[in-house]
Chains A and B, each alone.
Chain A
Amino acid sequence: MTAADTLGAPSGPGPYRPAAGRTGAGLLDLRPAPAAASRARMFAAQTRLELILTLRRGESVLLTMIIPVGLLAFFTAVDVLPSGAEKSVDFLVPGVLALAVMSTAFTGQAIATGFERSYGVLKRLGATPLPRSILLAGKTAAVLAVEVIQLVLLVAVGFALGWDPAGGAGAVPSVLALLVLGTAAFSGLGLLMAGTLRAEATLAAANGVYLLLLLIGGVVFPLSKLPGWLRAIAEVLPTAALSDGLRDVLADGSGPGVRNLVVLAVWAMVTLGLAARTFRWE
C-alpha cells in the first residue's frame, strides 16, 4: 500500500501523478506526522555523532591522544628536565593531563566548531527541532567522553612508566573538580573563538594558543623556570592553573589550591558568558 492509496484525493488538480510502486520504493509514508523527538533521544544522537566524528578525524586523534602520550613518554624517557627530587613522571603526568584537557575542550572543539559554522552545519541543525542547548550539551558530552578516554590512556601510560601519584582515593574529588572547571574554561575559550572568528582564523589561533599554553602552562617544565614577569602572566592563564592544581593534588598530595580554582572559575565564567553573547551560528 502506498501513501497515495491511504489518502483521500489530493487537494487540487495537478499536472502529474506520482509513479506508484516503482522498484519497491513507493513504500515511504510521506504523510505529515510532525513532532519533535524527546530531548533525551536528540541528546544521545548528537553526542554519539559528535564523538564519532572527533575520533574519526586523524588530526584530532593526533592532537588529543598521540601528542600528550608522546610528550609524557618522551620527557620521561630522556629526562632532560631537572625537576628536583621528584621523579620526572610524577611531575609530567599532571601537566600532560592539563594539556589533554586543553587539546580536547579548547583546540579540538574550537577548530571543529569553527568549521561546522562555516559549512552551515549549525545553521542547518538550527532548522531542525534540535534546541541549541541540546546541541551544546551534546558537544560538551562528547568532549567529556574524549577526556575520559584520554584520562584512562594517560593514567595507564603513566603507571607503566612508574608514576606514583600522591593523595590516594582522597585526591579523586579534587582532580574531578579541577578537570570539570578546566573543561568549562577551555570550552568557553574555544567556543568564543569559533563563534566569532572565521574558521581559518580559528584554526590558526587555536593552534597558536595551544602552543603558547603548552610552553608557558607548566606542562613539561615548572613555571619556576620562567622569568618573573612571564611567570606572573602564566599564573593567571588556565593551563597553568590546571596543571598546577593537578600537580598540587597528584604530586604533592595537598589540596588543589584556591587560587587555581578561582583562576579556572573566572576563565570559565567570562569566556562562557562572552561566548553565549557573541556566538554567531552562521
Chain B
Amino acid sequence: MAEILAISVTGLVKTYSARSVPSRSGPRAESSRGPGRRGRRGSAAPSLRPAPFTEVSTTPATSAASAGRGASFDGRIRAVDNLSLSVPVGSVTALLGPNGAGKTTTVEICEGFRRADAGEVRILGLDPIGDAVALRPRVGVMLQAGGMYPGARAGEMLRLVAAHHRHPLDPAALLDRLGLTDSAGTPFRRLSGGQQQRLSLAMAVVGRPELVFLDEPTAGLDVAGRRTTWELIEELRTAGVTVVLTTHAMDEAERLADQVIIINRGRVVAVGSPAELTRGGAEGQLRFRAPTGLELGKLLLALPDGTTAHEGPVGHYLVQGTVDPQLLAAVTAWCAGNGVLAEDLRVEQRTLEDVFVELTGSELSS
C-alpha cells in the first residue's frame, strides 16, 4: 500500500526573540516529572523549562533555554531549525525530546497556532493556516495545559466542543471511558491535574477527527491514568485515526509509536520504529558503577576497536560495542588491574533512552 501522508513538514524554521520565548501553556505539576537525574554534563540541562520575560543574563533557566535551542548570531533563538518529518496516515508518531527541544513549537505550527518563519507544512494535504476552516473539523488538538473556561464544569466543556461537530462521540460515554464520570459536574479549576489532562484528551477526540495532536498526553497522570490514555490512543489507531503525540517518556514512545522522531535543539536527530532505533548502532552495552574519574582512554586501549566508553552520571559507566564474553572479561580485568571494584556490572540491550542519550548528549527527564 502506498503510504499516504497525514503530515509533511519540510525545512521548518521558527525563531523567537530571546525575550519572547513562548511560555508553556500553563502551570504544570512539577512532581509529574519525577526526581529524574538532570544535566548529565554540567551545564547542559535542557530539562529546565525556558523562563520567558526574564533577563537573559541573570537566570540559569534562560541560559539553559538558549543553550538548548541554539541562539543564532542575531540573538534570536532557533526553536525549530530546518526540521523535516512526515507522518503516514493511520500511524502513531511520537515526537520525543527533552523540554525545549522544539516539540511543542513544531506541533503548534502544524496545528495552525504559529506561523513558520520558513519551510513547508502540509496537514492532510492542506495549509494549516490558509486552510484552517477546512482543517479544524478534521484535526483534534490537545494542548499541554489550559484551554478551558475555569468556571465551566468538565461535562459542560466537553459538550461545548461536541456541539461544534456534526457527528461527535457521546460526551457522557467518553467521560465514562476516561474515568471522569464522577468529575463531570466539577468546575475545571477544581479538577486535579490528571483529570484536566484526561478532559483535554477527551476534547481532542470528541469530534471524531482524522488526525489528533496530543501534546504530552500523559504528563502528570498517575499509573491508571496513563494506562487509560494509552488504551484510548491504541484504539484511535485501530480505528484509523492518525495520532501525533509529544512525550519525553521513553516507555510511552516505545509502547505506542509506530514511528519515533527524536528531536533535539529544534532538529530531527533520528527517525524510525522503536525496534529500528534500538537495533541500530552497537549491538549491546555494558554498564557498571565505579569511583568517578576512571581513565577511560586507557580502558579503551584494552578493548576491541569500535568499542566506546563514557561516564554518564557521575560514577556510572557505559561501554558500548560488541558485547561478548571477551569484552566482559577485558573490562573486569582492566578494572582489577587498576584496583577498581566494578559494581552493578550488567549487560543490556539498548533502550530508546540509550539511543537518545547517544544522539543528543542529554537525558530525558522522566
Seen from chain A, the residues whose Cβ lies within 8 Å of a Cβ on chain B are 3-4, 7, 10-12, 14-19, 22, 25-38, 41-42, 44-46, 49, 52-53, 56-57, 115-116, 119-121, 123-131, 282
Contact = CB atoms under 8 A, between A and B. Distances in A.
B147 A31 contact: no
A133 B137 CA distance: 16
B240 interface: yes
A7 B4 CA distance: 19
Contact of A34 (B137, B146, B156): B137
A49 B160 CA distance: 8
A116 B143 contact: no
Contacts of B151: 53, 56-57
Interface residues of B, number: 60
Given A30-B169, A49-B149, A124-B147, A4 B235 contact: yes
Nearest to A45: B163
B255 interface: yes
A272 B237 CA distance: 45
Contacts of A37: 163-166
Given A12-B90, A126-B113, 9 more contacts: A7-B238, A28-B169, A29-B239, A32-B209, A34-B209, A53-B152, A116-B149, A127-B111, A131-B133
Interface in B88-112: 88-92, 111-112
Residue of B90, B137, B150, B235 with highest tally of chain A CB at under 10 A: B235
B207 interface: yes
A5 B54 CA distance: 54
A31 B242 CA distance: 11
A17 B239 contact: no
Contact of B207 (A4, A16, A27, A128): A128
Contact of B146 (A16, A19, A124): A124
A10 B156 contact: no
B207 A34 contact: yes
B167 interface: yes
B290 to A, nearest CB: 36
B149 A34 contact: no
24 contacts: A10-B90, A11-B91, A11-B240, A12-B91, A12-B258, A22-B231, A28-B170, A29-B169, A31-B241, A32-B208, A33-B166, A33-B167, A35-B167, A36-B164, A42-B164, A45-B160, A119-B146, A120-B143, A120-B145, A121-B146, A123-B147, A124-B203, A127-B143, A129-B137
A86 B111 CA distance: 62
B330 interface: no
Contacts of A128: 136, 161, 164-165, 207
B115 interface: no
Contacts of A28: 169-170, 173-174, 177, 235
A247 B163 CA distance: 43
B1 interface: yes
B76 interface: no
Interface of chain A, main secondary structure: loop
B226 to A, nearest CB: 14
Given A35-B137, A46-B160, A11 B148 contact: no
Given A11-B90, A19-B231, A123-B143, A34 B165 contact: yes
Nearest to B228: A25
A125 B157 CA distance: 10
A26 B231 CA distance: 10
Contacts of A129: 133, 136-137, 164-165, 207
B238 A4 contact: yes
A124 B209 contact: no
Contacts of A121: 146-149
B74 to A, nearest CB: 25
Interface string B160-200: 11011111011001101100000000000000000000000
Contacts of B234: 14, 16-18
Residue of B90, B149, B167, B174 with highest tally of chain A CB at under 10 A: B149
Contacts of B91: 11-12
B138 interface: yes
Given A35-B165, A119-B150, A127-B141, A18 B89 contact: no
B159 to A, nearest CB: 7
B210 interface: yes
B25 interface: yes
Which 10 residue pairs spanning A and B have beta carbons closest together?
A: A124-B147, A45-B163, A120-B146, A11-B90, A35-B166, A30-B239, A127-B141, A33-B167, A34-B138, A32-B210
B216 to A, nearest CB: 15
A25 B26 contact: no
Residue of B1, B111, B161, B239 with highest tally of chain A CB at under 10 A: B239
